[in-house]
Amino acid sequence: NAVKGKRYVSTFSHQQESAAPGYYQVRLLDYGIDVKLTSTLRCGYHQYQFGNNQNRQILFDLAKANNRVVDWQIQQVGENAVLGYQDIRDEKVYFYAILNTDIEKLEKVDEGKREGRAFVHLKNSNSSGPVEMKLGLSYVSVENAKQNVEQEIGAKTFDQVRKAADETWEALLSKIEVTGGTQKQKQMFYSSLYRAFLWPALRSDINGQFTDEKKNVVKGDFNYYTVPSLWDDYRNKLILLGIVSPEVTADVIQSLKDRGDKTGFIPTFFHGDHAAPFIAGSYARGITGFDVKSAYKHLLNNAFKEGPSRPHLNEYIAKGFISDPHVEKPHVETKGKAGVSKTLEYAYDDYALAQLAKQLGDTANYRILMARSNNYKNVFDPSTRFMRGRLENGDWIQNFNPQYPYYEYMYREANAWQMSFFVPHNMKGLIQLYGSEKAFEAKLDSLFTVPWNPNYIARNVETMIGQYCHGNQPDHEAPFSYHFINKPEKSQKVIDFILDSLYGMGKEGLDLAGMDDAGEMSSWYVFGALGLYPFSPADAEYIVTVPIFDQVKWHTQNGKQLIIKKNGPGRAMQQIRVNNKVNEGYFISHDLFKNGGQVEVITK
């Protein structure tokens, strides 16, 4: 019954539930209804098996979404279809739904309101088959939503659409084959690989139209995607996307560039200017299916003009650091500029953009940006050996507690420990600041051993190994840092602990430590498990660790194979061999993905 204020829910059991890539099934125990769902890129296909064919209803709960709904509408068209939209603050989602049975009536309660809802009452039927609904979505119009569902699903059956979805995911996930390892490790690996591809989301229609940054409907010759979760996933997920799906990566960059065309700046996400390492690194890895010169022009605006992508840029350029105010008793919620985090991140972004400048022959900007990439030194306090906040006049911020986490005072969702090793472009220079490799090693040891104070509670800053936080992203490169003082076995101990203990947790053995953040946490597992990590995402190279599998076989886009083998009984790396030759150092080139080859990690 459509009663205002009533909750429409059902109990269910995991014993009568199943899920796979492209498919979900559950039995709604309170109503005796079996639900099956599958999808195409822009459409959903629903199947409801009712217990009987009398008084069947479908609830359209359009007032609810992940973000606040400000308006919604629905109307019936013809005998068996409904259309409408959901307005979620700054974008409208249009839908067109076609049913395989006729509609008795469409009942609306408080249409457009926050407590409203709509009910599609179906005509009683002599058929005992399931009710099916083919649902097209569009961010442009109901006409496009209709075209999407007619062209992507059309006359296809539920099983045909499910099979196509299954084959799409099978082709994607089988690009990386693993041999050896435990069943749980394989489960964690492939479920992590799957989650890495759930974002960014497609926003253009089958006819090429999309709603652009200026809210205009335009037509593109590429698939238009949402802005990636750049603060998180530039570190690893977007590199994984580029290796496995370079054509999607090119479209994601084209989508960022299109926004730059409309605003003058490439958008960022949450913090930092990490479209720079994403685009520079993708181009360095051979992804060229986008207008690189135009993207570079917008990234230069990001780096030289204060705007939406780099807050406090003028201070950064003038002083070489971003300050924070003096606060007598700072706490987790204290407002500030997150000046230490911004300085370190902008310095890395400058380095990344310098690499693109070099590739494009812009020597003048290369030199300027490379000089700015040394700004990390300006927030390193030699007296404490921490990256520390500074006042506007350059003095170090007092009341300094390196263990205390902040959301935006000096640090962004981090403390001094977690940010003090973030110089992925110049670890040699960072080590020099500590005075010696021994001093650096001692500090790095302390990162993983100094106990966390349980009274320092900050959302997201969770799942600690000493002061290292794996439940949030800012220090995710730190476990690999022992490589730079020639002690990879110490890195491996930390990496293995994380892979073994901070993934696959919980009752079902599927939990991970903290928020996945659009696949960044999952991608960390994928790379850690495979024995390669993009330590500096702007550079087309990977730091080598010991894989958890005996053999890994990457099938690359051009038909080549990169094989990674573990040879030896233990987890302590002794040697890296590339194509049967001893590798100098701990990095291998992305050329192995382009040309194929073999990496052998010898352990004891």
Tens of pLDDT, residue by residue over 225-250, are: 999 999 999 999 999 999 999 999 99
Quick one: DSSP state of residue 373?
A: G
Alpha-carbon distances of 188 from 192, 494, 529, rounded to whole Å: 6, 18, 10
d(Cα 588, Cα 455) in Å, to the nearest integer? 42
Q: Please tell me the predicted confidence (pLDDT) of residue 507.
A: 87
DSSP-derived secondary structure letter, 5: T
Question: Which residue has tokens 């009274």?
Answer: 455
Distance (Å) of CA 290 to CA 78, 251, 254, 286, 481: 43, 7, 6, 11, 33
Distance CA 373, CA 351 (A): 5
The amino acid at 407: Y
Burial of 1 (0-12, 13-18, 19+ CB in 10 A): exposed
End-to-end CA distance of the chain: 68
Residue 131 phi/psi, 5-degree rounding, is -80, 130
Helix (H, G, I), strand (E, B) or coil at 419: helix
Quick one: tokens of 198?
A: 């759930």
Q: Please list the ranges in the chain whose pLDDT falls under 70.
A: 1-6
Buried b (16+ CB within 10 A) or exposed e, 470-509: bebbbbbbbbbbbbbbeebbbbbebbbebbeebbbeeeee
Cα angle 579-581-583, degrees, rounded to a multiple of 5: 100
Opening angle at CA 336, ends 451 and 450, nearest 5: 10
Strand-pair partners of 578: 581, 599
Say what the alpha-carbon torsion angle 140, 145, 147, 148 is, to the nearest 10 degrees: 100
Question: Which residue in the block uniquely carries the two structure tokens 């840092």?
Answer: 481
**Residue 266 in contact with residue 260, Cβ under 8 Å?**
yes
Q: How far apart are CA 561 and CA 539, in angstroms?
A: 21
Query: Of all helices (H) and strands (E), which one includes residue 445?
Result: helix 437-449
CA max distance for the chain = 83
pLDDT in tens, 138-162: 999 999 999 999 999 999 999 999 9
DSSP 499-535: HHHSEEETTTT-EESS--TTTHHHHHHHHHHHTEE-S
Q: Which amino acid is at 304?
A: F
Q: Which helix (H) or strand (E) holds 352?
A: helix 339-359
Cβ contact 109:146 at 8 Å: no
Which residue is listed with tokens 């700004």? 375
The closest of 37, 141, 64 to 95, measured between CA atoms, is 141
- pTM for the predicted model, two decimal places: 0.95
CB atoms within 10 A of CB 127: 9
* pLDDT of res. 303: 98
